[in-house]
Structure 1
């Protein structure tokens, strides 16, 4: 198999391992009004989710969070979030995870179309670690700390490339298996048609002979 091209590696280097979003979360009556942000993460990767929610508790709105992944793992359900809320977890599978918000009206408010402003910051892998604390604990120089962070980032990229290679291999094996099954199914169908045609010829000849037509 060909090794990953330099352009692919550079593309992964440019991909952000952390990002921030800002949006308005409109309050609604009842539940089932979640707004989710999805991202993909590999297994055993550290993820830090930081949410800053405007407003205060008791203002007639209640913002609930829910962090989950696509295979059913639950990483937390903070209730009535106001101000800054930080949660950290280690992923349990190679899958996508969702950070969901729900703003529910809990009382009367004089504000037209009440809403909460949310600032969401998601750090994954090396970007999720507290490098200032690591530098202080291990007494590292700034250059050493930066090199350490870059080393972990490169390791994450290598792991991501390996995951993509294994996934491509699995898909290729599935395609080859499907093609093999289709080939044998086609041969079996052709054999059945040939056998059916031969049986029809024999049957018709016997029928015509019994009627003394041939």
Structure 2
């Protein structure tokens, strides 16, 4: 009899295969400008994860346009600043803390006559994080794995990263829920305190007015 129990890792692996078969690099046009105006793409990375950023920029050097890259994170760290990028450019980084990182591009006009009326460079950007960023060809050669075994190893590591990310999100959601409950509790007691102060102030005004009228022999 075949067991009906479904392995969550297997399900995630199936979804991963379907997703990677449909995914592709990000492509966009970068218009040249007279002044610096960076266009950034943001991603989140966990501490110690390998990130490989591959950018393919169209055009040729000396065509009146200069495309510069800038890779930085939300903590204020600068990882690389390649200048006058043409063709394929690959950069790697490994943040020491959980953070969001930005891959920014700018296209500056260096020679308006050569650049033409509407100078544009096309950029193809591919960002690989974690298991996707590893050189699996080297792993296959070093460990003498079969292609199928290499693919399974890669899927296993990616699924493990997904599970870790889901656990992180669960802990973060729990922390936010606890903070929300604590805030609601404080607001509730603040409202009770405010109502008590208003009731006390009203009672004091009544007593004060009664004493004032009695001193004037009005009541």
Number of aligned residue pairs: 206
Q: RMSD of aligned C-alpha atoms? A: 2.1
Kept in 2, the 8 Å contact 1:67–1:98? The answer is yes
Counterpart of 1:145? 150
Correspondence for 1:46: 50
- The alpha-carbon distance between structure 1 residues 47 and 110, as it changes in their structure 2 partners (threshold 3 A), is closer
What is the CA distance between 1:174 and its match in structure 2?
0.9
CA 12–44 in structure 1, closer or farther in 2 if over 3 Å, else same: farther
Cα pair 1:12 1:157 within 8 Å, conserved = no
Which residue is equivalent to 2:3? none
Of 109, 114, 134, 1:129 maps to 134
Whole-angstrom distance in 1 between the partners of 2:179 and 2:165? 21
Tell me the TM-score normalised to structure 2 length. 0.86
Q: Is the 8 A contact 2:69 2:106 kept in 1?
A: yes
* Superposition deviation, residue 15 in structure 1: 5.5
List runs of 5+ in structure 2 lacking aligned partners: 1-7
Show the 5 A alignment for 1:114-193: 114-193=119-198
Structure 1 residues 82 and 189, CA gap change in structure 2 (3 angstroms): same
Find the residue that maps to 1:113 and give its secondary structure: coil
The 10-residue stretch of structure 1 (107-116 or 202-211) with the greater mean CA deviation from structure 2: 107-116
State the match for 2:25 in structure 1.
20
Matches of 2:15 and 2:190 in 1, distance apart?
42
Question: Per-residue displacement from partner, 1:150-181 (whole Å, max 9, x unpaired)?
Answer: 11111101110111011101101110110111
Instruction: Provide the rounded CA distance (Å) in 2 between the counterparts of 1:110 and 1:64.
Output: 16
Q: How far did 1:111 drift?
A: 2.5
